[in-house]
């Protein structure tokens, strides 16, 4: 108790001229903890939202394909039914992605796009795709119809009911692929939340063009239950047991470059924040050195009356621990509170900007949400505490090795 009381006095006593330095360091730690929690929680939320859209819309949770020799001998309906019977598989959708040259006959505009041919059930059943995608014009689905991404529809000056003339590469007899022109009616436009998908993709029914496309290019997109989306190893093993020649790719493998870029972004954010706390640690080291120099007479007297070297060390480390813990607790509490109400705070700041400029801020008006992970907060909390104690010890170890009489003599 004596050590704790003395450590508290060294940190916050009004008679201590280094009290202001302790308060500044505590404030810096609190602000740093608040900033890191807000930044990481915003990053977690944005990354989770983006990854959910990618694996639900762009790539499915799993993709299954077959070698050309096996694909021609398998019936699509049989494969889809067998895959859907596997454990943890919720839905299976055979589909084909192919590049096309598309022309809106009515507007006479044309450009290149991606045509995704998929069974019509993907629009009308409850699945991640239908939950993420909404129709903004016309209707979707139906044989002989095609739906356009909203940005693509705008580029083509599309109107509901326009005829879409497309040149696609189909399976040929004399050559592997041969160009083929088809006409489909554009009946709807959709918004998925993925700008690249909305800008480049059209979606049509698979069955009318299945024979022309050929079975070799058909992939099987699998949606898994919530518990298995990111832990697909058991499902992959079951599918490989059913079809040994099949190639099974997870959504992480399909989007490996994009997924790696997001993880790298997070690692770089951790490094940036780590160096910010290293700077705080260096300040604590310097503050501890100054405090020790100012208190060396007092510490020498304590040593002379029987206090050991370890007691003095505990006092200084206790002072650093008190300052750090109070700053961290304030920072964590403020970060969690601000994270829960980040939308209101940004909305207030946007209203304040609009009051002066009569313009909304695109960043502040975005509906941000936060995802605070307790494990990350605990790791950061303990890391900052360890850095603080480590730098404090470095700042005082040289002076603490002096003998009491030497300390009194130089004082």
pLDDT (mean) for 15-38: 77
pLDDT (mean) for 251-271: 81
Which tokens sit at 144? 């002989």
Whole-number mean pLDDT of the chain?
A: 80
Give the per-residue pLDDT at 64.
92
Distance separating alpha carbons of residues 69 and 80, to the nearest angstrom: 18
Name the residue among 200, 189, 196, 40 with its Cα closest to residue 116: 200
pLDDT (mean) for 255-261: 80
Highest average pLDDT, of 139-148, 171-180, 305-314, 345-354, comes from 139-148
Cβ pair 55, 255 in contact under 8 A: yes
pLDDT (mean) for 78-92: 89
DSSP, residue by residue, 303-314: HHTT--HHHHHH
CB atoms within 10 A of CB 174: 5
Which tokens sit at 371? 């995802």
Of all residues in the chain, what percent carry a pLDDT higher than 90? 8
Indicate the pLDDT class of residue 92, thresholds 50, 70 and 90. Answer: very high
Highest average pLDDT, of 43-52, 76-85, 311-320, comes from 76-85
pLDDT (mean) for 227-255: 88
Indicate the pLDDT class of residue 222, thresholds 50, 70 and 90. Answer: very high
Q: Is the pTM of the predicted complex or chain greater than 0.75?
A: no
pLDDT at residue 16 greater than cutoff 70: no
* Phi and psi at residue 57, to the nearest 5°: -110, -50
Cβ pair 353, 51 in contact under 8 A: no
Model pLDDT for residues 364-391, shown as the tens digit of each residue = 766 777 788 888 888 888 888 887 777 7
pLDDT (mean) for 227-234: 86
What residues does 181 pair with on adjacent strands? 167
Give the per-residue pLDDT at 6.
66
Lowest mean pLDDT among 36-50, 62-76, 107-121, 363-377: 363-377
Give the per-residue pLDDT at 395.
63
Domain boundaries, the chain: 2-49+259-410, 60-254
Distance separating alpha carbons of residues 300 and 43, to the nearest angstrom: 50
Of all residues in the chain, what percent carry a pLDDT higher than 70? 80
CB atoms within 10 A of CB 323: 27
Model pLDDT for residues 281-330, shown as the tens digit of each residue = 676 666 666 666 656 666 666 665 555 566 667 777 777 788 888 888 99
Lowest mean pLDDT among 142-146, 212-216, 226-230, 402-406: 402-406
Indicate the pLDDT class of residue 175, thresholds 50, 70 and 90. Answer: very low
Give the per-residue pLDDT at 310.
66
Cβ pair 368, 45 in contact under 8 A: yes
Looking at residue 206, the DSSP 8-state letter turns out to be S
């Amino acid at each position: 108790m004596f050590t704790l009381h003395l450590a508290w006095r060294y940190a916050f006593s009004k008679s201590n001229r280094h009290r202001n330095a302790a308060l500044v360091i505590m404030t810096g730690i609190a602000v740093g903890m608040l900033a890191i929690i807000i930044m990481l929680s915003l990053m977690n939320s944005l990354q989770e939202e983006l990854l959910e859209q990618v694996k639900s819309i762009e790539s499915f949770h799993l993709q299954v394909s077959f070698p050309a020799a096996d694909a021609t001998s398998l019936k699509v309906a049989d494969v889809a039914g067998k895959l859907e019977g596997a454990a943890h598989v919720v839905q299976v959708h055979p589909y084909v992605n192919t590049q096309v040259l598309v022309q809106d006959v009515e507007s006479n505009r044309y450009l290149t796009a991606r045509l995704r041919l998929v069974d019509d059930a993907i629009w009308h059943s409850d699945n991640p795709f239908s939950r993420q995608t909404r129709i903004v014009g016309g209707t979707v689905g139906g044989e002989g119809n095609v739906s356009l991404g909203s940005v693509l529809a705008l580029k083509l000056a599309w109107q509901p009911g326009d005829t879409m003339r497309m040149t696609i590469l189909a399976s040929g007899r004399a050559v592997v692929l041969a160009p083929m022109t088809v006409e489909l009616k554009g009946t709807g436009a959709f918004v998925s939340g993925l700008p690249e998908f909305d800008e480049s993709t059209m979606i049509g029914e698979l069955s009318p063009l299945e024979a022309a496309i050929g079975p070799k290019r058909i992939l099987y997109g699998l949606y898994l239950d919530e518990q298995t989306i990111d832990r697909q190893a058991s499902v992959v093993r079951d599918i490989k047991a059913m079809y040994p020649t099949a190639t099974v790719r997870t959504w992480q493998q399909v989007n490996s470059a994009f997924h790696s870029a997001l993880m790298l972004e997070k690692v770089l954010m951790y490094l940036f924040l780590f160096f910010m706390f290293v700077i705080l640690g260096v300040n604590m080291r310097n503050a501890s050195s100054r405090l020790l120099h100012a208190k060396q007479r007092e510490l020498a007297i304590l040593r002379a009356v029987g206090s050991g070297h370890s007691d003095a060390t505990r006092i200084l480390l206790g002072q650093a621990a008190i300052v750090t813990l109070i700053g961290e607790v304030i920072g964590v509490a403020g970060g969690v509170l601000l994270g829960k109400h980040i939308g209101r705070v940004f909305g207030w700041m946007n209203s304040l900007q609009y009051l002066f400029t009569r313009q909304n801020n695109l960043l502040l008006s975005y509906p941000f949400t936060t995802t605070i992970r307790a494990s990350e907060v605990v790791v950061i909390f303990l890391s900052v505490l360890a850095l603080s104690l480590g730098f404090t010890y470095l700042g005082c170890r040289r002076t603490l090795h002096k003998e009491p009489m030497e300390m009194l003599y130089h004082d």
